[in-house]
Structure 1
């Protein structure tokens, strides 16, 4: 049996570990990483790095490597690969599951401004603040490149490339982060607005609590939808249960 996990997330690494530890020893578990992070944390099992060449290339890979199930455990905002995975799975007749950690929800005292894209987030910023904590990752910084009146503190794992905002300081860090650390960061840099994607998960959630405590607004980019018809699990354990049911009786699992 061969399971392909489209990974790169904490949940993908946890799932790969579960599969390696709990499935029969003869099971082949392959995690595919996009290769956008210079020094990724490698999951258990086999690992491949790089793209497939779109949906057609992924479908060919699924057939050539006799993949029995495909699990899309990519980042909630990695929309292109998710739709390629759906098309490839349908073409190769391989069952597909999306593993997505739940998104964040605002609580009492939060000043959230939901937007549909990075471009909309950039348009929203001038009315909200001048010192911006930008935590949307190094991809897509061009959306903020035209804002020359705002100062940005940009945090990511790897250094960004142009285009990016003209007034920007880069903070190279990898989560998880603490509430105390995030509150000190906001204070030290005099941040008055936070921009984030609705990535979900606990590793980077303390920034939201810190913003709530500081009373500053948060621009939240809504996550794209999962391709229609693809079942969704919200934890690695639920994904493992789906896999056992799906490959155990050959019928779609009821999540």
Structure 2
């Protein structure tokens, strides 16, 4: 079995390890960074591609190399690649699985500090209008910073990002001082989030609704304990994605693979 895996997330590493332990499979993983590719290889992927792939190139790889299954385990906010990959699978009539981490269960969590918005642009406007004092912790990746600093002075802005060349360059282009960059190596614990809030005198935290594996609960609880606002960007809806395409855990993925 040959599997083409769109990766770059913790979920994708778990998928690689699970498939390698339970199936006779060759896995090629694509990520947008060298860092993601290295983690995929360490997780057991047979090969990796460490750059964004255009639609035509994905189609060529799938057809030329005879892949049996396309698994999309990209981030819940990578709407463009998910829409593209779902469309490619339909076009090529190749079995397709969208592995999507469940939305965070907040049933027993105090949500009074959360302000929901639909975009980062909306988040920036909300901060400018309602939270004009104190510093801003940005826990939502380097690619989304520009939408915030359109409205928020960089002097108040502290992004937690992977310290890779592309992300550092984005900070430079936006005028974000290197002393404001918080290195990221994975989801932070509750204690680490509290420490960051205190260290940077934050009044606002920005995060995506990226699921429990993305550390959302720990961010909310830290914001609650320190009595600061948390602005949560809700997940985008993806038009070409059908309910039957989606699995939320490895057991569901196994059932899907065995049904092909």
Shorter-normalised TM-score: what interval? Answer: 0.7 to 0.9
Query: How has the CA–CA distance of structure 1 residues 18 and 114 changed in structure 2, closer, same or farther, with 3 Å as cutoff?
Result: same
Partner SS for 1:110: coil
Contact 1:133/1:194 (<8 A) preserved: yes
- Give the corresponding residue for 2:149: 145
- Give the corresponding residue for 1:209: 221
Question: How many residues of Structure 1 are paired with residues of Structure 2 in the alignment?
Answer: 243
Partner SS for 2:213: coil
Q: Which sections of structure 1, spanning at least 5 residues, go unmatched? A: 247-255
Asked whether 1:222 is paired with 2:234, we answer yes
Asked whether 1:134 is paired with 2:138, we answer yes
- Give the corresponding residue for 1:195: 206
Alpha-carbon distance, 1:103 to partner: 2.1
Contact 2:83/2:241 (<8 A) preserved: no
Deviations 1:144-195 (CA, angstroms, capped at 9, x unpaired): 2332286012101124314436577101121232212211221222111111
Q: Which residue of 112, 116, 119 corresponds with 1:117?
A: 119
Contact 1:11/1:236 (<8 A) preserved: no
Distance in 2 (CA, whole Å) between partners of 1:69 and 1:38 is: 21
Distance in 1 (CA, whole Å) between partners of 2:68 and 2:154 is: 53
Question: Pairwise mapping of residues 5-24 of structure 1 onto structure 2 (< 5 A)?
Answer: 5-24=5-24
Q: Which sections of structure 2, spanning at least 5 residues, go unmatched? A: none
Asked whether 1:53 is paired with 2:54, we answer yes
- Give the corresponding residue for 1:253: none
Contact 1:15/1:237 (<8 A) preserved: no
- Give the corresponding residue for 2:67: 67
- Name whichever of 84-93 and 108-117 sits farther off: 108-117
* RMSD of Structure 2 on Structure 1 (CA): 2.2
- Name whichever of 157-166 and 81-90 sits farther off: 157-166
- Give the corresponding residue for 2:31: 33
Contact 2:135/2:203 (<8 A) preserved: yes
Query: How has the CA–CA distance of structure 1 residues 59 and 149 changed in structure 2, closer, same or farther, with 3 Å as cutoff?
Result: closer
Alpha-carbon distance, 1:122 to partner: 0.3
Contact 1:130/1:150 (<8 A) preserved: no
Asked whether 1:178 is paired with 2:189, we answer yes
Contact 1:142/1:163 (<8 A) preserved: no
Distance in 2 (CA, whole Å) between partners of 1:218 and 1:119 is: 15
Partner SS for 1:133: strand
Distance in 1 (CA, whole Å) between partners of 2:31 and 2:154 is: 37
Deviations 1:71-116 (CA, angstroms, capped at 9, x unpaired): 1000111111111101111111101111011122543253111111
Partner SS for 2:18: helix
